[in-house]
Amino acid sequence: MQFTRSSGILLHPTSLPGPYGIGDIGPQAHGWINFLAKSGCGLWQVLPLGPTGYGDSPYQCFSSFAGNPYLISPAALLEDGLLHANDLADAPHFPAEEVDYGDVIPWKLGLLDRAFSRFQQTASQKLLQAFEEFQAKEEHWLDDFSLFMAIKESQGGNPWVDWPAPLRDRHAPTIQDFRNDHREDIQRQSFRQFIFFQQWAKLRDHAHARGIRIIGDIPIFVAHDSADVWANPELFFLDEKGQPTVVAGVPPDYFSETGQLWGNPLYRWDVHTEDGYAWWMSRLRSVLSLVDVVRLDHFRGFAGYWEIPAGEKTAINGRWVPGPGADFFQAVENVFGELPIIAEDLGEITPDVTALRDQFHLPGMKILVFAFTSDATNDFLPHNYEPNCVVYTGTHDNDTALGWYQRVTDKERDFARRYLGRSGEDIAWDLIRAAWSSVAVYALAPLQDLLSLDNQARMNYPSQPSGNWVWRMKGDALSDRLRARLKEFNQLYKR
């Protein structure tokens, strides 16, 4: 895929405004696309779109194929006749500027259940046929996922390793009995996916019509409590009861004395190799049916990953293990042609990681809030970029630009002001200017930086287990002044 000079905004759909407690993929998302187009941007970057579980993190999903039902638009369901106005009358009083998942989730699922009932009773032949076609087309993952979620629901939401052994181990007669007894529960899960994919397809078509390409995100690892692992245990290092024997993380570094213990199960890459990485090819194909470009999270794990024995309390006692390397990306290239992949090459990057990235001409990432910690040799400073990279003012895992500037030392602030040639009074836009004017093929900023917000608007603190993923923009945030300012930058710097 040929990357061409462009710019865009990082904004997850949950952060869009609207009356229903959480941003969704309905009218507000279509309006957001229009704002991007009118401002001269060509890119919209989102986080993973999968169904979130405990902690609400899009990086720990119940499936790497499914869509998140919380993103389904009630307004679009109303338009399609699957909801009536009185279905929305009991909406709680949601806060406008953050997502209260505790209130949103039960209310939203209740709405979707009403929509499913109405679908069963009143759906047109055309809609019923579309549902059947969707189920047939997506059967390779949808069948396992809908079954997984229906069992999970019947087991009080417990992780699959805590289910009765016959369900945990997919004992064929037990599974068949469950299918017979819970046919409607399984169908309800499939229906939610059908609606999500229908609404998303409309949004993506609208984006393409306005010249906007969508950048998605693929986490390298999947959640242990997911349909992926339950349905494909042979692809992961698990014991006979489904528990991981080794788990993912990163070793101790400058940021953490004990490293990071993520806890995801690790892949048995030898098994994946035997069938040409079929599960991965299916996963990539699925994500690329939703987005145009993917950011491959923790790219370094494909060169080598940190393996930690299960049961360890920290990531200290791990070891480096070789990943699948070039063999994997060659297989991907054979299937997909030129790779529409951005390599998230942050963290402890060794020469083999850089070599793997460059072998397949993948653009890496540059983060401006990391640029001012040392001197002119810092790789994140724009004068050190090559065109085949993607520059961000910051990402969902970092301080906002203003939050960073308020937090760091006087020395770092002084270097930033001198380097940027600015007073620092409008630091977020100073960084946006530096990103947009650089040679990087893509320049992106989180919407929080365009709005010059501090760390109260930060999306995620990686070491903090709760209170993340809640930020939402105000309904009047996308002003004409903001659009004009962004358009000016796009014209000035040929974005």
pTM for this model (two decimals): 0.97
Rounded CA gap, 135 and 142, in Å? 7
pLDDT at 464: 80
Are the CB atoms for 300 and 345 separated by under 8 Å? yes
pLDDT at 466: 82
Task: Point out the least confidently predicted range of 170-184, 338-352, 371-385, 425-439.
Answer: 338-352
Span 231-256, average pLDDT: 93
CATH architecture of 6-492: Alpha-Beta Barrel (3.20)
DSSP secondary structure letter of residue 61: B
Residue 449 annotated as catalytic? no
pLDDT at 347: 83
Residue 344 annotated as catalytic? yes
Rounded CA gap, 283 and 14, in Å? 23
Span 116-133, average pLDDT: 96
Active-site residue identified among 56, 344, 430, 449 = 344
Span 365-394, average pLDDT: 98
Q: Is the pLDDT of residue 331 over 70?
A: yes
Span 426-447, average pLDDT: 98
Active-site residue identified among 24, 56, 297, 345 = 297
Give the pLDDT confidence of 404-420 residue by residue, as tens digits: 999 999 999 999 999 99
Beta strand ranges found along 332-404 (DSSP E): 341-343, 364-367, 389-392
Q: Is the pLDDT of residue 395 over 60?
A: yes
* N- to C-terminal Cα separation, the chain: 18
User: Can you tell me which residue has the tokens 């299937």?
Assistant: 335
Residue 228 annotated as catalytic? no
Domain boundaries, given as residue ranges, for the chain = 6-492
Q: Is the pLDDT of residue 463 over 80?
A: no
One DSSP character per residue, 238-267 reads B-TTS-BSEEEEE---SS-TT-EEEEEEPB
Report the relative pairing of strands 260-265 and 293-296 from DSSP bridges: unpaired
Rounded CA gap, 74 and 83, in Å? 7
- Give the count of beta carbons closer than 10 Å to the beta carbon of residue 380: 19
- Name the percent of the chain lying above pLDDT 90: 95
One DSSP character per residue, 189-237 reads HHHHHHHHHHHHHHHHHHHHHTT-EEEEEE-SS--SSSHHHHH-GGGB-
User: Can you tell me which residue has the tokens 């992106």?
Assistant: 444
Q: Is the pLDDT of residue 1 over 70?
A: no
φ and ψ at residue 301, rounded to 5 degrees: -65, -20
pLDDT at 90: 85
Task: Point out the least confidently predicted range of 234-238, 457-461, 465-469, 486-490.
Answer: 465-469
Q: Where are the alpha helices (DSSP H) in 81-160?
A: 101-122, 125-137, 139-154
pLDDT at 462: 83
Active-site residue identified among 97, 397, 426, 454 = 397
Report the relative pairing of strands 260-265 and 246-250 from DSSP bridges: antiparallel
The per-residue pLDDT of the chain, averaged, comes to: 96
Span 349-367, average pLDDT: 96
Span 33-54, average pLDDT: 97
Q: Is the pLDDT of residue 284 over 90?
A: yes
Which of 363, 195, 218 lies closest to 283 in space, CA to CA?
218
